[in-house]
Amino acid sequence: MNRVVEVWRDIGAESLNLPNLLTLARILLIPVFIILFVNPTPDQSLAAAIVFTVAAVTDMLDGYIARRTGQVTTLGKLLDPVADKLLVLSALILLMNVDRVSAVVALLIIGREVAVTGIRAIAAGEGMIIPAETTGKYKMTLQVVAIILLILEGTGFAELGNMHLAGTATLYLSLVFGYVSGSQYVWSFWKQVVAKGL
């Protein structure tokens, strides 16, 4: 119990704000999404797409609200990217499981995310700040759209067009943006390493 109190004091009561609650809600929606989509039927796929969409919307809202209201916290900076990656990577793994995403594409995306997360962790340990690039935001948006399209492939929405083709093309585009933004992270990190003489 004492440890819980200490952690609460370290984080600070101010961390329990609307943006962070939205981030926590996104994390809690991930197991719901997994349960719905692990053995997808048309109805479960539709429900999974709705849950994934709601979770993705919280991603847009939490950052916007935090910046607009000055509620940016250390906890939020830590949880937000973790929640994003957990959401996207769990969806990619499940889509790969039902043969809607190529294993090579999934591994390339996962590899990029692990590499960028590692660079950001090293940078944070050295007191460096690597700002998020616009291309990274485009990457995330394209990934979300692609995943929703690929989930809907197994529903009545498939009658509207070739969801698999549209989703796969969008995912490939997100992969390009992902590696462009990843190279920008590496370049920004390298410049700061050189400047600090590390």
Which tokens is 84 given?
A: 């994003």
pLDDT mean over 180-186:
89
**pLDDT value for 5:** 53
Greater model confidence, 19 or 96? 96
Each residue of 150-169: pLDDT tens digit? Answer: 999 978 888 888 999 999 99
**pLDDT value for 139:** 92
Taking alpha carbons only, the member of 89, 82, 113, 85 closest to residue 20 is 82
- Return the C-alpha torsion angle 103, 30, 151, 105, nearest 10: -20
Query: CA-to-CA distance for 72 and 56, rounded, in angstroms?
Result: 19
**pLDDT value for 6:** 60
Query: CA-to-CA distance for 181 and 143, rounded, in angstroms?
Result: 14
Greater model confidence, 29 or 198? 29
Which tokens is 73 given?
A: 């916290």
pLDDT range class, residue 186, cuts 50, 70, 90: confident
Percentage of residues of the chain with pLDDT beyond 90: 44
